[in-house]
Structure 1
Amino acid sequence: MNLSQKTILITGATSGIGLALTEQLQANNQVIAIGRSEYKLEQLHKQYPSIKCMVLDLSRHDAIANKQQALKSFGPIDIIINNAAIQNTAHFTEQLSDNSANQTSIKLKKISEEIQTNLTSVCQLTACLLTQLISAASHQQPGAVVNINSGLALAPKKQSAVYCATKAAMNHFTLSLRYQLEHHPVKVMQAYLPLVDTAMTFGRGSNKLTCEQAANAIIKGIEDDVLDNAIGKVKWLKRLLRLTPNFAFNMMKNA
């Protein structure tokens, strides 16, 4: 796929991997940056005036439904990169002694926001924009849905059970959508990332990829038509899962 003169919509575009993707792709493409911080989007637009921006809080269940017309106003879209993700809930067993109604409500709200951002919004946004995507695509110039996933979709860790579950669900959503679009000129791709140095992973792990390295690998995978792009250490994880699955799951348990 030639990543030039495309209209590319990127969620979570104001920080981390999303920002690195936005900065690298804006030079030769029309980028539509989606984020929840109006201030960050304004700063992004000041730096790159060609970028179109939209404030959209994907953790809200009604956000995409309320912005349908605004999203459709962008016209034909060649590529959607579903990148936005959050990680709220570490341990379900934390603070078991505090079972107050207020504390429980906070936990339930965090779980809902995590699932909404990481999975439901991906399904909703793809459904909302699919007609625009198909209308812009041809067999000579195919479109793409690119879901930014994690190695945790393949083998979960002890912490962040909800996050791991959303990534595993995204894996199946990607595969199923790929089946549904196999007779359309739209590719459905995903990139399985290892630990990347972002605000989400601050203070955890070592030997992380930089956001720029992750973005480079994602872009190269799109250009090379890699449908399931295992990046960095995830390549080794996939091999271990084939050869010694028990060892791989135990290794990832406390990752």
Structure 2
Amino acid sequence: MDLNGKLVLLTGGTDGIGLRLARQLREKGAQVVVTGRTPERIAAAQAEGFEVLAADLATSEGVTGLLAAVAGRPIDVLVNNAGMGTPHDYRVATPDAQADERTLQLNVHAPIRLIAGLIEPLKARPEAMIVNVTSGLAIAPNTASAIYCATKAALRSYTMSLRKQLEATRIHVLEVLPPVVETAMTADLAMKKLAPEACAAEIVRAMERNADEANVGQVKFLRRVYSLSPALARRIMLAF
């Protein structure tokens, strides 16, 4: 895809991978509209010149409001980047049911509803793309992040089916599988992390070449292990 001149709706674009992706897409000539929910981050993104739509996509109302806000706009690319994790490990503590629900809403329901709400406008564009950001943990889960892993695996499965459904249309479907990236969500993890700028750069390259799947950073290694032995890949990841 030639990103120059494209109108991109990017969820979760005021911080982390999303903000770096917004900057790099703009450098390619795209017009980028981002969503966010934290006032300070919204203000900072606006100060950089981005159009920001305030939306808490971890709620059904937030998704409905966002769809209303972009109704009638000629969106060429939808990037479902917004995501969150929550502790869900019975070895440590009883999981927070409300936090689990917000994670399920943001990571699974919101992308699906946004796609459903924008599918017809996207079909009407000369060239369009849906980018769903999942995770390497969608291939093989770890032990401690059960809900997060489950949501990303669900979105991965949905994305694969969606790609087949839309193969006769002008909408290309890309799945991005990042490794652990240096973001606010991973700040407490004591491990090697990929810089968000590097992750964003790989996403942009995958968009430009109309890739079906972008395995980012160490996920390339995980993908190779999984292709040789799914059981081994699962044993490795479940050690964490």
TM-score w.r.t. the length of structure 2 is 0.94
Compute the displacement of 1:244 (Å). Answer: 2.4
Instruction: Report the secondary structure of 1:62's partner residue.
Output: helix
1:239 to 212, 224, 237: 224
Deviations 1:143-173 (A, max 9, x none): 1000111110000000110100000001111
* Counterpart residue number, 1:42: 43
Cα contact 1:64–1:124 (8 A) shared by 2: yes
Compute the displacement of 1:36 (Å). Answer: 1.0
* Counterpart residue number, 1:16: 16
Q: How far apart in 2 are the matches of 1:92 and 1:222?
A: 39
* Counterpart residue number, 2:92: 94
TM-score w.r.t. the length of structure 1 is 0.89
Percent of aligned pairs with the same amino acid: 33
1:182 to 159, 162, 167: 167
* Counterpart residue number, 2:101: 112
Cα contact 1:195–1:205 (8 A) shared by 2: no
Partner amino acid, structure 1, of 2:195: T
Compute the displacement of 1:20 (Å). Answer: 0.4
Number of aligned positions between the proteins: 239
**Larger C-alpha radius of gyration, 1 or 2?**
1
Q: Indicate the larger mover: 203-212 or 149-158.
A: 203-212
Compute the displacement of 1:205 (Å). Answer: 4.2
Q: How far apart in 2 are the matches of 1:94 and 1:206?
A: 20
Cα contact 2:55–2:65 (8 A) shared by 1: no
2:152 to 159, 167, 170: 167
Q: How far apart in 2 are the matches of 1:64 and 1:108?
A: 21
1:127 to 99, 116, 124: 116
- Alignment gaps of 5+ in structure 1: 97-103
Cα contact 1:9–1:32 (8 A) shared by 2: yes
Instruction: Report the secondary structure of 2:124's partner residue.
Output: helix
Q: Indicate the larger mover: 112-121 or 28-37.
A: 28-37
Q: Indicate the larger mover: 179-188 or 243-252.
A: 243-252
Q: How far apart in 1 are the matches of 2:102 and 2:52?
A: 22
